[in-house]
């Protein structure tokens, strides 16, 4: 099955998701064996109009571990011809002759789709503004499947900034593909999950509930997906930020009431919404989750470049 | 024939140009075959004191496609020891032990020559301020030769910002090496071609004319070389900028009167001086021109590193 | 002998230093032969929270010359999740799954040690603020040993900004491991060597003297280690800076009174504290010293990655 462009979480059906995940499992083996040469002589261009060192390094490590080469810019907005008024489409038409795959991060929603409309090589969306970040969504889902063992019948609490959190929004779209999922939204009043996602879940018969008491929800779920209250989204509404921040914290008291086989996830970076005391607990899955990003990105690179 | 440093367009005679172009043709084949290993274990350092993402990525892709390695900085001005007062010559004396070839971009005219005076490895000038950008000139000439089939007897219109446009100025130097070339300069009053170039053409018996009506010139030429009115060169003279901009636009009406075998070139980025409606016409050569930059840079890297 | 993390100059004893230096000599041979593949499929991450193009390029060239791969960021402070409040430890826990070794530069003293406390791969400290820069110290010591032929019995003058100069401070720690060393400190009043180092030397029975007349010291020593008066350390005390700067200059008059077999070292960049007229003298060792950084870094990478 050949993937061409990877633009949004919703483009994947359950069959392709299964294929991505089984390829990611292969990739774990390849990493353990010290890498591979299957992408030898292939070139990946990371074109980032908005810096994101971690995502970029993750893609670049993935490409290297498969024997491929990388050309890269993290300053495309400031340094490239974009500053002179060039259209993204023109830039893509040029870079697609330098590379076999373009990993694009952009500050505008829809940018990846525009790039894909002109590119002769696959585009992988590494985040386009408030829009999509599909490789993050895939690694999240992969982590749940790998750690919990199933997606059908999953119970998950999404906690924190649900209004602005791109990861939890995308995860809702993906979870809607599986039966008997139950989602608990636990968010401060000012950053509650938005109506569009709730409508989507209703249409797809996904059961969800909005809860205010994390302690009531914690014992019931397979996964607590904690997110950071994003200060940068509040502008000068510092009062709102302070109100939201610190309302839902994962600490030892939450660990004590969680199931033994449940896990805690977080897209990282975290600030203080998960206390350091939690890190040593085997249920703290967030660093394993980050590592899964490497396997997922290796799998996607293999799939778009070799089919 | 071994090239050492590549500093300015004028350093090439017709024999070397022919050698560069035939090597570039080889490189097209190598790219089609998926790359080569001839520069294995060679290291190219891209040292950019002035950012230029496209030029940098083009060189880096060229090096990768020949199996070579890259070390890179796009922030040499801000981040390197230049900020502490180090002379360029000292920097070069150090970097030349890290790499087998140095690709230098600098904000000062003459910088590449100063670097070459101390470097023990080849220097390739990737643009030194208002000075030279020889690889751009070579890819321009290569594009004309490849698309039109000959340089002797060429008729070309250079359009737009001819006063500040480094590319059209350099192209004049190169075209002066070929017989029976006819150049039409079509520029807004405030950015007309400067006297030094016109003197050079007169000395070398190159026929040229200054024209104000693009529609009169378009049907007569093999090549229309359009350029961007560079806003950044006008400072606060916004009125002059607005007057110049938009005076000469390539659109369907120009396509309609051009010869069927003529081409449109542009160094890119473009803003609106070539309308998007032109892109689909086979005579729109500017994206092919950009791609030729890859082959020319591969050819030059091969020639300076392997002789 | 397997090195794990490389954090500070003092961690090395004379046996390990001898091993590093003999490995560095091997590396010189490997470079002359055009490189090696011993680090094939290994990935080095250069994570720089404070830019230092030269140090970064030196590490990256070292890794490439041994066949290894590189992923890199020079803007970790501004661009990474550090800006969102992420702890260094969290960043390291993620990057250590992307790479086999992390080269860290940071603006805070002690950062490398904090990174090492959580990393599952070796950390190499490439400078942590006013703290340590051990690879620079090792290349300095290696240069002395290689150029002079011995460390026991060495006579060395340290000149310039001894208060802020990280290199001379670290070199004192290392020289204290060898017998019969004699150090002359020659510094402007405002940037004299600090008491902590002098105490350390007294405790370790290293003979030192504070001198004000460079001309009196120059004829007596094997090595003059000149340093730059660092303008950036003076803040708005421009008067102090101007007083300090220019007090001790290496020029032809110093060359004339130095021993024939002595050398001049400098960590670079220099501004005007060594005159260009000195560069051509065979005793000017500073560019050779910079080149030794490549061999030392290759040696360390080999030792931490292959043991």
pLDDT in tens, A13-33: 999 999 999 999 999 999 999
Only one residue has tokens 């086999």, namely C100
pLDDT over 90 at C181, yes or no? yes
Domain ranges for chain C, please list them: 9-132+293-306, 135-290
Q: Angle between the C134-148 and C286-306 helix axes, to the nearest 10 degrees?
A: 120
Does domain A9-132+293-306 fall under CATH 3.40.50.1820? My reply is no
* pLDDT value for A1: 46
The answer to whether A9-132+293-306 and A135-290 have equal CATH topology is yes
For residue A209, the SS3 value is strand
* Predicted local distance difference test score (pLDDT) of residue B1: 46
Mean pLDDT of A233-244: 86
Average pLDDT of the residues in B246-268 = 97
pLDDT band at C136 (very low <50, low <70, confident <90, very high): very high
Q: How far apart are CA A255 and CA A283, in angstroms?
A: 8
Q: Chain centroid to CA A132: how far? A: 9
Averaged pLDDT, C105-127: 96
Specify whether C133 is catalytic.
yes
| Residue pLDDT, tens place only, A28-62 | 999 999 999 999 999 999 999 988 889 999 999 99
pLDDT attached to residue A170: 92
Is residue C219 classed as helix, strand or coil in its secondary structure?
helix
Res C27: pLDDT: 98
Question: What pLDDT, on the 0 to 100 scale, is given for residue B61?
Answer: 98
Neighbours of B224 (CB within 10 A): 27
List C25, C54, C194, C215, catalytic entry = C54
Point out the residue among A41, A43, A94 whose CB comes nearest to the CB of B54: A94
Which is nearest to B3 in space by CA: B307, B295, B293, B296?
B307
Q: In terms of pLDDT, which residue wins out, C60 or C243?
A: C60
CA atoms within 13 A on the CB side of C36: 18
Average pLDDT on C40-48 reads 96
* Averaged pLDDT, B176-192: 96
The pLDDT score that the predictor gives to residue C1 is 46
What rounded mean pLDDT belongs to chain A? 94
Chain B and chain C share a number of CB contacts under 8 A equal to 70
Using the predicted structure, report yes or no on whether residue B170 has a pLDDT greater than 80: yes
| pLDDT on residue B79 | 63
Nearest to B63 by CA among B19, B20, B102: B102
> How many CB atoms are closer than 10 A to CB A38?
15
Answer whether C85's CB lies under 8 Å from A271's CB: yes
Instruction: Measure CA of the first residue to CA of the last residue in chain A; give whole Å.
Output: 6
Residue B191's pLDDT band (cuts 50, 70, 90): very high
CB A57 to CB C85 under 8 A?
A: no
CA angle A240, A243, A244 (to 5 degrees): 90
Helix, strand or coil, per DSSP, at residue A6 = strand
Q: How would residue B32 be classed by pLDDT, with cut points 50, 70 and 90?
A: very high
**Average pLDDT of the segment spanning B251-267:** 97
CB-CB: which of C41, C80, C85 is closest to A53? C80
CATH class of A135-290: alpha beta
Q: Which residues contact A254 (CB under 8 A, 6 or more apart)?
A: A214, A215, A218, A224, A278
Determine which of B43, B63, B94, B99 to mutate to test the interface with C (most C C-beta atoms within 10 Å). Answer: B94
A 159-178 residues with CB < 8 A to C: none
CA dist A222 and C35 (Å) reads 52
- Test C84 with A35 for CB contact under 8 angstroms: no
**Mean pLDDT rounded to a whole number for chain C:** 94
Cis? peptide before C269, omega within 30° of 0: yes
Using omega within 30 degrees of 0 as the cis cutoff, is the peptide bond preceding B41 cis? Answer: no
Beta strands in B115-235 (DSSP E): 123-128, 155-159, 182-186, 207-211, 223-226
* Sheet of C123-128, strand order: C69-73, C43-48, C101-106, C123-128
Instruction: Give the model's confidence band at C239: pLDDT under 50 very low, under 70 low, under 90 confident, else very high.
Output: confident
Instruction: Evaluate if residue B2 carries a pLDDT over 70.
Output: no
Of A97-111, A238-252, C102-116, give the lowest mean pLDDT range. A238-252
Write down the pLDDT at residue A185: 98
Can you tell me the distance from the alpha carbon of B94 to that of B78, in angstroms, rounded to the nearest whole number? Answer: 18
- C-alpha count within 13 angstroms, C-beta hemisphere, residue C199: 3
- Which are the catalytic amino acids of B? 54-55, 84, 105, 133
User: A109-153 pLDDT, tens per residue?
Assistant: 999 999 999 999 999 999 998 888 999 999 999 999 999 999 999
Q: What share of chain A is helix, strand, coil (3-state, %, to 5)?
A: 45, 15, 35
Q: Residue C54 catalytic?
A: yes
pLDDT tier, C119 (very low <50, low <70, confident <90, very high otherwise): very high
Distance in angstroms (rounded) separating the CA atoms of residues A93 and A143: 35
**Which of B57, B232, B291 faces A45 most closely, judged by CB atoms?**
B57
Q: What is this structure's pTM?
A: 0.94
Interchain pair B86, C51: CB under 8 A: no
Alpha-carbon span C43 to B69, nearest angstrom: 14
Rounded alpha-carbon distances, angstroms, from residue B185 to B181, B193, B225, B284, C295: 13, 7, 10, 20, 55
**Neighbour-count burial for C289-304, b at 16+ CB within 10 Å, e otherwise:** bbbbbbbbbbbbbbbb
What whole-number distance in Å separates Cα of residue A54 and Cα of residue A9? 20
Spatial CA neighbour of C264 closest among C159, C182, C149: C159
CB pair distance less than 8 Å for C78 and A51: yes
Run of H or E including C289: helix C286-306
CA atoms of A307 and A301, how far apart (whole Å): 9
Asked if residue A39 lies in contact with residue A95, where contact means CB atoms within 8 angstroms, the answer is no
pLDDT score for C37:
96
Name which of B69, B93, B98 is nearest C57 (Cβ-Cβ). Answer: B98
pLDDT exceeds 90 at position A84: no
Residues of chain C contacting residue A54, judged by C-beta atoms under 8 Å apart = 80-81, 91, 94-95
CA atoms within 13 A on the CB side of C150: 9
Q: Any residues with CB less than 8 A from the CB of A192 and at least 6 apart, and which?
A: A162, A163, A185, A210
B44-70 burial code (b ≥16 CB/10 A, e <16): bbbbbbbbbbbbbbbbbbbbbbbbbbb
pLDDT value, residue C17: 96
User: Which residue in this structure is represented by tokens 């019969």?
Assistant: C180
Identify the residue with better confidence: B245 or B68. B68
Local structure of residue A71 (DSSP, 8 states): E
Please report which confidence band the pLDDT of residue A77 belongs to, taking 50, 70 and 90 as the band edges. confident
pLDDT score for A240: 86
pLDDT at B307 exceeding the cut of 90:
no
| Alpha carbon distance A281, A288 (integer Å) | 12
pLDDT over 70, % of chain C: 98
CB B73 within 8 A of CB B47: yes
Q: Are A58 and C91 in contact (CB under 8 A)?
A: no
Q: How far apart are CA B207 and CA A272, in angstroms?
A: 73
Closest CA to C62 of C85, C78, C82, C46: C46
CB B288 within 8 A of CB B143: yes
Instruction: Return the SS3 of B47.
Output: strand
Q: Confidence class of residue C2 from pLDDT cuts 50, 70 and 90?
A: low
d(CA C167, CA B37): 41
Q: What pLDDT score does C76 carry?
A: 82
In this prediction, residues C241-265 reach a mean pLDDT of: 95
Q: Shortest Cα distance from B101 to chain C (angstroms)?
A: 12
Residue B227, preceding peptide bond in cis (omega within 30° of 0): no
ipTM given for this complex: 0.93
């Amino acid at each position: 099955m050949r993937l061409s462009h990877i633009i949004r979480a919703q483009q994947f059906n359950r069959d392709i998701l299964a294929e991505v995940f089984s390829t990611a499992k292969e990739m774990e083996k390849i990493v353990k064996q010290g890498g591979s040469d299957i992408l030898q002589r292939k070139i990946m261009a990371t074109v980032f109009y908005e810096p994101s060192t971690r995502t970029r390094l993750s893609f670049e490590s993935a490409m290297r571990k498969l024997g491929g080469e990388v050309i890269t810019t993290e300053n495309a907005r400031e340094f490239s011809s974009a500053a002179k008024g060039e259209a993204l489409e023109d830039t893509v038409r040029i870079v697609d002759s330098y590379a076999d795959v373009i990993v694009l991060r952009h500050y505008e929603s829809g940018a990846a789709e525009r790039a894909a409309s002109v590119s002769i090589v696959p585009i992988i969306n590494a985040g386009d503004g408030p829009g999509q970040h599909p490789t993050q969504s895939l690694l999240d889902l992969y982590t749940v499947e790998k750690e919990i063992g199933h997606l059908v019948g999953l119970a998950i609490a999404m906690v924190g900034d649900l209004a602005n959190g791109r990861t939890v929004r995308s995860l809702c779209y993906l979870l809607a593909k599986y039966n008997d999922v139950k989602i608990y939204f636990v968010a401060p009043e000012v950053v509650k999950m938005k109506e569009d996602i709730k409508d989507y879940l209703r249409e797809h018969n996904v059961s969800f509930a909005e809860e205010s008491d994390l302690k009531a929800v914690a014992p019931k779920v397979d996964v607590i997906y904690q997110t950071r209250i994003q200060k940068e989204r509040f502008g000068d509404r510092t009062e709102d930020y302070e109100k939201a921040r610190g309302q839902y914290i994962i600490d030892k008291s939450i660990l004590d009431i969680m199931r033994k086989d449940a896990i805690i996830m977080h897209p990282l970076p975290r600030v203080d919404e998960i206390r350091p005391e939690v890190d040593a607990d085997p249920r703290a899955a967030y660093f394993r989750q980050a590592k899964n990003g490497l396997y997922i990105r290796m799998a996607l690179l293999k799939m778009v470049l070799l089919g």
